[in-house]
Amino acid sequence: MAESPTLTHLQREQCAPDLADALGHWVDWLRERNLSKHTIRAYCGDVGGFVTFLCGHLGRPPSLNDLSDATIREFRAWMSRRAMDGASAATRARGLSGVKNLIGWLDRSGIMHNGAIKTVRTPKLPHKLPRPLSQRQAQSVLDNAETLSAATDDGWIGSRNRALFTLLYGCGLRIDEALSLNISGLPRDGFIRVRGKGNKERQVPVLAIVERMIAQYRTDCPFAETNDRPLFLGERGKRLHQGVAQKAMRDIRLALGLPETATPHALRHSFATHLLENGANLREIQELLGHASLSTTQRYTEVNAEELIRIHSAAHPRNRTPE
């Protein structure tokens, strides 16, 4: 097998000659793709760990045939062993990715095939909420969304961005919910109907400022309106793409010096966090966000713990300085 600083002597000794040779060619292929040394080292470490597991499981160094015959039970057993050894879900997911990369390359190269690996589920990673903006930061985004939008001859673009981001923060909509709105779905009687995840519909109250920003955008937008026309349009008059909205937010973030976590979804999260800070209860926030489970909404309280501690410290009578 070709010598490689990313495959240890122990890993080479634990492979049958044909698998060891294939591993060497696989590493060469990884290098040809200009992957970073860190990525190659991580992949090789993960594959080496699986080879070590197979060696112990079979009682001998595994060959290409053994790798081809590996079953879903063996892949799951390896993943379970890693979990028992304390590997995080992210580490196990990366390990499975490395093994899938190797087996995929072996398959495409006509060396061997293993269909079981495709049925192994990637460990579910914990869902991380974006950091909310402070109330001052959120207001700054809305105040500057129009003037800080990318320079364009079409002045209505800035008006569109301000209306969109005001809607996200003022109503707590997901970005895809906002972009899926049509003219026929405009706010009526102070409410807007939103179709969210699972095709579930909910009613969300609309602030007067949100209605004003949308009205101004509609006035500025040069494209004719019909009931089935998308509310938010791109420069060519088609439904606004999520990537364009994200880029607009990124431009604003950079101009204002906000953290990388200042994304369109962070505006939705900020909506919920600021409601919580101002006395709304979780059930009310759950309804507004369209969460199926209260446990999903409760994650907002975890991120908001620092604010709750501050309020508690300031308000609790036992924390007051004696006069």
265 annotated active-site? yes
300 annotated active-site? yes
Residue that is written with structure tokens 């993943």 in the block? 79
Query: Which of the following is catalytic: 121, 197, 212, 238?
Result: 197
The span from the CA of 186 to the CA of 184, in Å, is 6
Beta partners for residue 206, in sequence order: none
Q: Which residues contact 51 (CB under 8 A, 6 or more apart)?
A: 11, 14, 15, 19, 62
Query: Which of the following is catalytic: 82, 269, 274, 291?
Result: 291
HSE-CB at 263 with a 13 A cutoff on CA atoms is 13
CA 186 to chain centre: 28
197 annotated active-site? yes
238 annotated active-site? no
CB 235 within 8 A of CB 265: no
Query: Which of the following is catalytic: 300, 310, 312, 320?
Result: 300
Angle between helices 305-315 and 294-303 (to 10 degrees): 60
Closest by Cα among 235, 257, 68 to 157 = 235
CB 146 within 8 A of CB 159: yes
Query: Which of the following is catalytic: 82, 94, 268, 269?
Result: 268
Query: Which of the following is catalytic: 41, 57, 174, 218?
Result: 174
Query: Which of the following is catalytic: 76, 229, 250, 265?
Result: 265
CA 7 to chain centre: 32
274 annotated active-site? no
Beta partners for residue 194, in sequence order: 202
Region of residue 279 (phi > 0: left; psi between -120 and 50: alpha; otherwise: beta): left
291 annotated active-site? yes
Q: What is the set of active-site residues? A: 174, 197, 265, 268, 291, 300
